[in-house]
Amino acid sequence: MQFDQDLQSIQEMRNAVKRAKEAQQKYLSYSQQQVDEIVERVAKAAYSKSLELAKMAVEETGMGIVEHKKIKNEVGSMAVYESIKDEKTVGIVNEDRVKKVTEIAYPYGVVAGIIPTTNPTSTAIFKALISLKTRNAIVVSPHPRAVRCTVEALKICEQAAIEAGAPEGLIGWISKPSMAATSELMKHRDVNVILATGGGGLVRAAYSSGKPAYGVGPGNVPCYIERTANVSKAVSMIVDSKSFDNGTICATEQALVVDKNIKEMVIRELKNNGSYILDESEKAKLEKLISPEPGKLNPAIVGQSAVRIAEMAGFTVPAETRILVAEETNVGKNVPLSIEKLSPIFGFYTADSYEEAKEYCIKLLNLGGRGHSLALHTNDEKVANEFALEMPVSRLMVNTLSSIGAVGATTGLLPSLTLGCGSFGGNITSDNVTARHLINIKRMAYGIKEVSIPKPSVSVTNLTQETSKPQSVDDIVKKILNKVPSKNEIDEKQVAEMVNQVIKKYQMN
């Protein structure tokens, strides 16, 4: 009997979540030392298979460059491990003896990990590591075009974890992913947090699932070469960055903004570094290939080489070409060179002034990269500070490769394959997501301040007591008589009559 693939996928997901929850309950009892040993063993196992996994990823997805994917796998495994190995994630993680506050870590539970086709193995390894470090379990939904390599990466992690003493089921996956199963995974009652790396629609689905979610936005990264920059060095780094894994990292530079007085120098250095400058005819052909529909990126060009893209567009470039560059003046959804391209293609904008350069950068970010990243090459610290203050981004890479600088390879930023875009990009965090984002902190606080709570005044107390319930005429008369000295003789009936007259007069008013 043939079962529906969506139903099979959903059932596989449910089974994986069930095993993950059971395993995570056991994992809760593990000490920091046990957890750290498991994480180290997993990181080393994944690192040792970096090249093998890179080859699988390129073969299966048809995207990127093996040698570059190997580096990403190494960053996702050992670089991430080195950044989290000394963090306390179990039990008491901090004590403030002065304020008498003790902080205690506890995990979310089961993590739903959504993996993109552009970085299928490195992201899987990274998410498994930060989940294990924080005593969470993880169930992964691979991209349908990268199932085999993603699952293989997870199997390597799982085997190493079990050999190090982890309970079975702590790392799970869907081997036959579908949109239905992924959607249900994010809404599953036993899933406690979502790590979503992928397209905008998927990230929005994660945020609307009703679960805590870390999602990321698109990275339409402007790269401004300011007039004080070391042009030769800057362009060399930019071309290396843009051609890294054929532009598949979301933090890769997407458009060049160049001061007009260094334009010719930049073009010369681009050519010296393997870039091809398109003429108007070639530009028109490339635009049709990049975006057959306004605002929509053609997925066929993602992660392809410059030579292959030119061939697809219908023109020929030298075999050693690394980057395709075309001059542009406009920014908008109907301007293909201004959108995020995830491939070795640059739109080239010439700025007549510093203010116009900033304007171009903001327009490009507003088109689709708000909150993500910006690259800047300058030797003017004032310019760098101004950009840091004014640009709506979560990270600004200065004089380095944006693609791998943003993920922590060439900068002091935390190594991560999930880059938050903050409120600029509609994300919950602007951080490079890492282990600390997968733990909660409960706090035990002793009293350290004496506070005197004032008591209500006597008059207020008496007033409250006297007006708390209706009083009869007899009650009022008795109170009056109690307050009159005993030597004074007063006719009780006369007093009652006086009270009645007062009450009648009050009611008439």
Which CA distances in Å does 361 have to 57, 170, 224, 333, 351?
33, 44, 8, 15, 10
Amino acid residing at 125? I
- 155, two tokens: 């199997």
Catalytic residue among 157, 250, 361, 421: 250
Across-strand partners of 436? none
Round to whole Å and give the CA distance between 337 and 356.
18
Which CA distances in Å does 306 have to 277, 302, 432?
12, 11, 29
Q: Residue 97, Cβ neighbours under 10 Å: how many? A: 7
Closest by CA position to 61, among listed 1, 121, 12: 121
Across-strand partners of 442? 104
With contact defined as beta carbons under 8 Å apart, do 394 and 425 qualify? yes
Annotated active-site residue 250? The verdict is yes
Closest by CA position to 63, among listed 239, 275, 220, 248: 248
CA dihedral 266, 372, 307, 240 (to 10 degrees): 50
**Strand intervals (E) in 108-168:** 110-114, 137-141
Closest by CA position to 351, among listed 238, 232, 266, 233: 266
Which CA distances in Å does 354 have to 3, 149, 273, 466?
62, 46, 26, 77
Tell me the residue length of the chain.
509
Collapsed DSSP state (helix, strand, coil) of residue 24:
helix
To which H or E segment does residue 372 belong?
Answer: strand 371-377
Which CA distances in Å does 401 have to 74, 75, 266, 397, 406?
17, 15, 16, 8, 8
With contact defined as beta carbons under 8 Å apart, do 17 and 139 qualify? yes
Round to whole Å and give the CA distance between 319 and 296.
28
Active site residues: 250
